Amino acid sequence: MHPSVQAFFDHATNTVSYLVHDPDTKKAAIIDPVLDFTPRNGRIATTSADALLTAAAGQGLDIIYVLETHAHADHLSAAHHLREVTGAPIVIGAQITQVQAIFGALFEADDVTHDGAAFDHLLQDGDMLPLGNLTIHALHTPGHTPACVTYVIGDAAFVGDTMFMPDYGTARADFPGGSARMLYGSIRKILDLPPKTRIFVGHDYLPEGRSEFAWETTVADQRADNVHMHDGISEGEFIAMRTARDKSLDAPQLILPSLQVNIRAGALPPASPGGHVYLRLPINAL
Q: What is the pLDDT of residues 212-252, one digit of tens each?
A: 999 999 999 999 999 999 999 999 999 999 999 999 999 99
Residue 267 domain flag: no
**CATH code where residue 216 lies:** 3.60.15.10
Residue 200 domain flag: yes
Which strands form 121-123's sheet, in the order they lie side by side? 4-10, 15-21, 27-31, 62-67, 90-93, 121-123
The alpha carbons of the chain give a radius of gyration, in whole angstroms, of 18
Residue 244 domain flag: yes
Q: Which residues span the domain enclosing 185? A: 4-262
Query: How far apart are the C-alpha atoms of 5 and 55, rounded to whole Å?
Result: 12
Judge whether residue 285 has pLDDT over 90: no
Residue 283 domain flag: no
Residue 281 domain flag: no
Residue 268 domain flag: no
pLDDT for the residue 136: 98
pLDDT for the residue 29: 98
Instruction: Work out how many domains the chain is built from and give that number.
Output: 1
Residue 278 domain flag: no
Residue 135 domain flag: yes
- Residue 111's pLDDT band, with cuts at 50, 70 and 90, is very high
Query: How far apart are the C-alpha atoms of 250 and 82, rounded to whole Å?
Result: 31
pTM of the model: 0.96
